[in-house]
Amino acid sequence: MTTALLTHEDCLNHISPYGHPECVERLPVVLGALDGPDFSDLRHVEVNLATIDQLKLVHSQEHIDHVLGLVPADGHAMIDGDTYLSAGSADAALRAAGAVCQGVDLVMSGDISNAFCAVRPPGHHAEPGQAMGFCLFNSVAVGALYARSKYFCHRVAIIDFDVHHGNGTQTIAENTTGIFYASTHQSPLYPGTGHVFDDGKGVIVNAPLAAGSGSNAFRKSLENRILPALVEFKPDFIFISAGFDAHKLDPLADLNLDTDDYYYATEEIMKVARKYAKGRVVSTLEGGYNLGIIGECAAAHVSALMKG
């Protein structure tokens, strides 16, 4: 069983304004935590840029042109109060989406069992026609629709345990046959979507958690809602939106997960992947803003991936 670690130094060149939580330093922290002897079996892959055709599986040409056209020669361009571009943002965002697609290629070729994409900016808030919430392109959705169009995977699941609801990913799942989207997230919280009554619009399973919820509530929402629905869906490929901002030490939200919860959640998803999807899993980094803790969270997550 081989797990690939997909990344590219271009992802360091998406530079947020001073004090922004989605900062460059997040990536070296994550990569540093995956650099010890426990991770010596990881296959390191330098990722390609996503192609425009790959982005167009999810995004309108107008959105792609708009985002790429906003990239400033220096300084920052603002999309909204949370979402900025710097001179390196286009290549970073294209590497992020490209990583998920390349992970799909590697998994489908049998070269590797599964993959973790250590990339930024994150993607799950990006709507087909709107960048928002630190996200420019919806990388995980681009990868999911790529698996569907290139490899005829017709039962593709996306599991999102970032503390924020992946509004963009849900929109895309609602409008695409054969895409399952399940999310645990704090509610109420940005972006204000992800209510339980969203269920029934396609294959959407939202498990909102009240502020202050911890490991027990998180694990129960997986055991009682998300995993049974995932088993019923019988995915042929599973993607993970791996945000680590539900950790109790994260500064942006108020859930109280422990590092072990990321190992647990990943292991449970892997069980379903082995049973129905030939172990095919591609995970990508979303949020996680405590620089002192996201490394060990990512290490717990990748450890479970490496066990296959």
Catalytic residues: 125
Q: Which of 189, 287, 293, 305 binds Zn ion (CB under 5 A)?
A: 287
Q: How far is the CB of 183 from Zn ion (least distance, A)?
A: 11
3-state DSSP assignment of residue 258? coil
Question: According to CB under 5 A, which residues from 83 to 142 bind Zn ion?
Answer: none
Q: Rounded to the nearest whole angstrom, what is the least distance from the CB of residue 286 to Zn ion in the complex?
A: 6
22 in contact with Zn ion (CB under 5 A): no
Smallest separation, CB 64 to Zn ion (Å): 23
Check residue 164 for interaction with Zn ion (CB under 5 A): yes
Query: Closest separation between CB of residue 156 and Zn ion, Å?
Result: 22
Stretch of 36-44, 102-110, 197-205, 279-287 lying at the interface with Zn ion (CB under 5 A): 279-287
Binding of Zn ion at residue 245 (CB under 5 A)?
yes
Residue nearest Zn ion, CB atom distance: 287
Tokens standing for residue 74: 């220096």
Count of residues of this chain found to bind Zn ion when the rule CB under 5 A is applied: 5
> Least distance from C-beta 251 to Zn ion, angstroms?
11
Q: How many CA atoms lie within 13 A of 282 on its CB side?
A: 30
Identify which range of 145-153, 211-219, 245-253, 292-300 contacts Zn ion by CB under 5 A.
245-253
Is position 208 an interface residue for Zn ion (rule: CB under 5 A)? no
Q: Using CB under 5 A, which of the segments 3-11, 27-35, 49-57, 238-246 binds Zn ion? A: 238-246
Nearest to 275 by CA among 308, 306, 304, 302: 308
- How far, in Å, CA of 126 to CA of 168, rounded? 5
For Zn ion, give the closer residue by CB, 26 or 63.
Answer: 26
Q: Are 91 and 13 in contact (CB under 8 A)?
A: yes
Residue 10 or residue 162: which is nearer to Zn ion going by CB?
Answer: 162
Q: Which residues, 187 to 206, sit near Zn ion by CB under 5 A?
A: none
Which tokens belong to 261? 């919860």
Place of tokens 């500064």: 251
Q: Shortest gap between Cβ of 61 and Zn ion (angstroms)?
A: 28
**19 CB-contact burial (10 Å; exposed 0-12 / middle 13-18 / buried 19+):** exposed
Closest CB to Zn ion among 54 and 167?
A: 167
Exactly one of 119, 243, 281, 295 binds Zn ion (CB under 5 A); that residue is 243
- Closest of 248, 183, 244, 242 to residue 211, by C-alpha: 248
Q: Minimal CA–CA distance to 288: which of 261, 262, 252, 234? A: 252
Q: What are phi and psi of 176, to 5 degrees?
A: -130, 125
- Provide long-range contacts, Cβ within 8 A and 24+ apart, for 27-31: 27/118, 27/119, 27/120, 29/291, 29/294, 29/295, 30/118, 30/285, 30/288, 30/294, 30/295, 30/298, 31/5, 31/7, 31/118
Q: Do strands 84-85 and 77-78 pair parallel, antiparallel, or not at all (unpaired)? A: antiparallel
C-beta closer to Zn ion: residue 235 or 243: 243
Among 10, 22, 105, 162, binds Zn ion (CB under 5 A): 162
10/53 Cα distance (integer angstroms)? 20
Binding segment (CB under 5 A) for Zn ion, from list 89-97, 150-158, 161-169, 173-181: 161-169
List residues near Zn ion by CB under 5 A.
Answer: 162, 164, 243, 245, 287
